[in-house]
Structure 1
Amino acid sequence: MKIVGLLLKQVLRYAVYTLVHVLIISRLVLFDAGWCFLYLGFVLFLPLGTPVVVQLLLAFGIGLTMDIFYDTGGLHAAAAVLLAFVRPAVLRLLRPRDGYDAVDAVNVHFMGPAWFLTYLGVLVLVHHLAFFLLELGSFRHFGFTLEKVGVSWAFTCVALLIVQLLFFPVRRSRQ
């Protein structure tokens, strides 16, 4: 029964991130150079004990969904899969002395703001560099691409921090 509940929760999270991103967030542009990739929260905030293969498949699924909606030919899927591939290494680098609890998800309230902002900043930067460099396809307008990466990185990080502060529990659930 616990597995079914966890699966339903992840399906609901997938639907919410997809719908909110497609219907609302995709219309927001900051300074004609920055876009918010809110759907990354689905991959970034997965439980810490999620197997790497499952993370890769989920990242591909949500990236492919975004590619279908925006006709981007695999850009979102490629960048999201790279994000999911790098995520375990970043988690290992940021591992606390006592380790992680496998059932925990990434949560600013449990991990602390310094840990969370480092985790979020590094992974969103990896995603955005991959996405915008793949979109560019060359180094012709590299300066503008770096501007888009920087503005989008800040926009996405602030949006995901707000999501964490508003919608994630302050206390651990008792099991």
Structure 2
Amino acid sequence: MNSSFGLRNIAQFFVFVALQILLMDSLVLFSTGFCFIYIAFLLFLPLVISRVWLLVLGFVVGFTVDIFYDTMGIHAAASVLLAFLRPLLLNLLTPRDGYDSGDAVNIHTMGWRWFLAYTFTLVLVHHTAVFFLETISLQSAVYTMVKILLSTLFTSIVMVILQLLFFSAKRERIDYR
């Protein structure tokens, strides 16, 4: 892997975590819709990445958010779950011709349908884990489900906006020399 690959992902890590801590913490819809933008770091990683490295990155990004939110590992657990399920979902969503070895997750490259299925599914899993670990009770299951659905929609819309604004329309490839 070349150094620009690593530098770009390190920069994305800091940008997404900083956005989460500084901006998204106070941006809540109707007291139930939360935007966890930091998971975009995991979702936008290249398609071909080691599973172990992906799990480690999931733990690091989740634990970093846990430190600032004082949530005792809830985000770390949900992020590791997302990192664990990401390769499985990528296998399910594999196009007929397969992925190119240098493809990155990009709405322009993969298409709207693929990107929305990928993003919505993983965001839903992550948010379900976060909110049920937070309550650890089924007493308020209806309220928790509303939080999960509204937060999933909110986060997914923000991810699509990020893709359209900041990721190039040309085929984004990563050089593995």
**Runs of 4+ residues over 4 Å off in structure 1:** none
Aligned residue number for residue 51 of structure 1: 50
Using the alignment, how far apart are the partners of 1:56 and 1:153 within structure 2? Answer: 22
- The 2-side partners of 1:79 and 1:21 are apart by 15
Counterpart in 2 of 1:135? 134
Distance in 2 between residues matched to 1:72 and 1:173, nearest whole Å: 36
Match of 1:16 in 2: 15
> Does residue 1:98 correspond to 2:75, yes or no?
no
CA distance in 2, matches of 1:173, 1:63: 26
CA root-mean-square deviation: 1.1
Give 5+ residue unaligned stretches, structure 1.
none
Q: CA deviation at 1:173?
A: 4.7
Judge conservation of contact 2:109–2:172 (CA < 8 Å) in 1: no
Taking the aligned partners of 1:16 and 1:102, their CA distance within structure 2 comes to 26
Indicate the residue corresponding to 1:167 in structure 2.
166
Does the CA contact (< 8 Å) of 2:45 and 2:104 recur in 1?
yes
Tell me if structure 2 keeps the 8 A contact 1:47–1:102: no
Separation in 2, partners of 1:173, 1:41: 17
SS for the counterpart of 1:138 is coil
Question: Are 2:72 and 1:76 aligned?
Answer: no
Whether contact under 8 Å (2:59, 2:79) holds in the other structure is: yes
> Which residue is equivalent to 1:3?
2
TM-score (norm 2): 0.95
CA drift at 1:102: 2.2
- Structure 1 Cα separation of the partners of residues 129 and 16 of structure 2: 21
- The separation in 2 between residues aligned to 1:153 and 1:5, in whole angstroms, is 31
One-letter amino acid matched to 1:142 = A
Identical counterparts, % of pairs: 49
Instruction: Work out whether 1:121 is the aligned partner of 2:120.
Output: yes
Q: Could you list the runs of 5+ residues in structure 2 that have no partner in the other structure?
A: none
